[in-house]
Amino acid sequence: VPEEAARRAIQAYNRGVDLAAQGHLEPAIASYQQAIALNPTLVQAYNNLANLYEQTQRVPEALATYQAA
């Protein structure tokens, strides 16, 4: 993963963490998806995304995301 993409992925991940903590689950999901698109090796983003999918009753997406991690 190029350095710039990795940096932007961490920013998107951190934004997702902040949004989720504030209860903004859909924007947090989008941020984690962006982080994964930028850096597919960012396992923490997969785990947090899967957790949010579970919280929003999207079990198939959660399972698929856990498996992708």
Q: What is the DSSP secondary structure assignment for residue 30, as one 8-state letter?
A: H
As a residue count, the chain comes to 69
Scan for tokens 């350095």, then name that residue.
Answer: 3
Q: What is the mean pLDDT of residues 22-33?
A: 98
| pLDDT for 57 | 97
Averaged pLDDT score across all residues of the chain: 97
pTM of the predicted model as reported, rounded to 2 decimal places: 0.95
Nearest CA among 51, 52, 42, 48 for reference residue 10: 42
Distance CA 14, CA 11 (A): 5
